[in-house]
Amino acid sequence: TYIGSIVASVNPYKSIPGLYDRAAVERYSRHHLGEIAPHIFAVANECYRCLWKRHDNQCILISGESGAGKTESTKLILKFLSAMSQHSLELSSREKTSCVEQAILES
């Protein structure tokens, strides 16, 4: 559940199909925090958005007892941020290519 920009989660100690796949990354990258069900990707997305839109430094604090899933949560956040960065790079490449193509067509 959400508590402001905090997500409280429980380690299910088992794999849940579809919970952390590419489709989940895409789904949470298109919504703001609180618009859809609570998820660690929503917190990571909010962090990513604030980093780029507000140019604010970001920090995600992951806390819990031994075995609570802190390491796995960190891996999931890094997976999300990596996917978002890759997507940004792909968009940048396309924009540069289209600008070059546009310059060629105009000359």
Residues at the binding site are: 64-71
Residues, the chain: 107
Structure letter (DSSP) for residue 100:
H
Phi/psi of residue 38, each to 5°?
Answer: -55, 140
Tell me the binding residues for ATP: 64-71
Cα–Cα distance measured from residue 8 to residue 1, given in angstroms and rounded to the nearest whole number:
5
